[in-house]
Amino acid sequence: MTPGARLQMAIELLADIATIPRPADAVASAYFRARRFVGAKDRGAVAEIVFTVLRCDARLRWWLKWADHPDPNDARARVIAQALLGEKAAESGRRAASVARLFDGGRFSPPPFSPAETRLAEALDQHTLEHPGMPEAVRVECPEWAEAGLRRALGGRFVPEMEVMTGSAPLDLRVNPLRSTREAVLSGLAAAGIEARACRLSPLGVRVEGRPAIAALQLFQTGAIEIQDEGSQLVALLADARPGQQVVDFCAGAGGKTLAMAAAMNNRGRVIACDVLGNRLKRAAERIRRAGLHNIETRTLSSARDPWVKRHKASFDRVLVDAPCSGTGTWRRNPDSRWRPLGPGLEQLIPLQAELLDSASRLVKPGGRLIYATCSLLLEENEDQIDAFLANHPEFTPLPQAEVWPAILGGPSPLEGRWLRLSPARHDTDGFFAAILTRKGEEAKTAAPPLDPSSPPDPSPEA
């Protein structure tokens, strides 16, 4: 495929992303599935163009307005601007004339520049993506709806944290201890020609270089690994689900944390994965089978106040509420979500999170634990929610992460503060928050030793 043809596909895909109400990665997957003639190398090149544009969206639109382009939302104009202003363009010396040659109107290539696009290319020629006149929020790709909240949460770290989130997210894998060990997985990846290393914080985590086809690997197909960000792994580990316990994942979604907790329980006990979206739970079924897990049940709830919750009051040792949230901690992974939230806004999310936390808390038995988590950096969705919950629920007390970490992961916690708070700039994970609360009463007596990622898996896990 020619460079011009790749640009044309990128323009088409960006136009689809702007109009189809689905996440960009899902739109891209559907686009390429409908064009199976496109090889893996070309798919990767087109995706890189598209997601680079999405990560630079505020700056590109600022430049288009600066150049008086008539439509700053136009996909062609944004691709042209990125080709002229991006780092690769600056490094190669590519400027207006060379970019214009890619728009030659040939077969599969984009049509030639319009007069407005010619003026745009001439105006941007010799500039780079950054400009001293850019507002700070534009320079760090922060949308107006989130700026005040992120400045409040991050304080003096607002700029460095946001700058890191203009880049791409790493690719992390979680080793399934029922199927393999981290050492065996690293050896298997090396044998497949894939560069990888152990994650810094998660004892089950492996960080992979590049974007290899993980789903094609035997390690993946046999359930030895799952794709899961290191921060998400830590949330599941600190839930401290133990063999023989009764556990609920109240907002399970596609089941990533459900799988991690069930594996930590060595297939003993019971995990109930709940969600109001039954189709998401159905999609988790294949992941559960592949992982060799037999202790997971799924249940579709009608709402946060489903009668099932009342019937199972005070029945569970661990209840995880991985609440729907703004996703501000995942912007490296989902750059389009900054500009076009596809679900409820903050004004709907905050009362929903409070309702989920309040309802799920009824499931926790005396001595059991309630874990509240989000992939958000905003205080409104995190600390503020927990403060309000504790003020209304004196039967729960905080359990600082520094007290939980040594028993589960070994050694003192490398994190600061009472709650688990991870950020892309400080920890190179997605942004996560988790609070662990204990219901007053006798704590469960069973204890699990800290995880040893090198220990062999149980050859005969109990169903």
**Token reading at 192:** 């497949």
Judge whether 375 counts as a catalytic residue: yes
Place of tokens 């040594």: 406
Burial grade of 323 (CB within 10 A; 0-12, 13-18, 19 or more): buried
What dihedral do alpha carbons 417, 421, 426, 429 form, nearest 10°?
150
Task: Name 401's Cβ contacts closer than 8 Å, sequence gap at least 6.
Answer: 238, 413, 415, 417, 418, 419, 420, 434, 436
Q: Which of 56, 199, 274, 375 is catalytic?
A: 375
Element (DSSP H or E) covering residue 389: helix 383-392
Query: Angle formed by the axes of helices 40-55 and 3-19, to 10°?
Result: 50
Q: How far is CA 237 from CA 203, 226, 408, 434, in A?
A: 9, 15, 7, 11
Instruction: Provide the b/e sequence for 286-305 (b: ≥16 CB within 10 Å).
Output: ebbebbbbebbebebbeebe
What number of other Cβ atoms are within 10 A of residue 37's Cβ? 6
SS3 state at 359:
helix
Could you give phi then psi for residue 108, rounded to 5 degrees? 75, -5
Single-letter residue type at 208: V
Half-sphere exposure of residue 336, counting CA atoms within 13 Å on the CB side? 22
Q: Which residues are catalytic?
A: 375
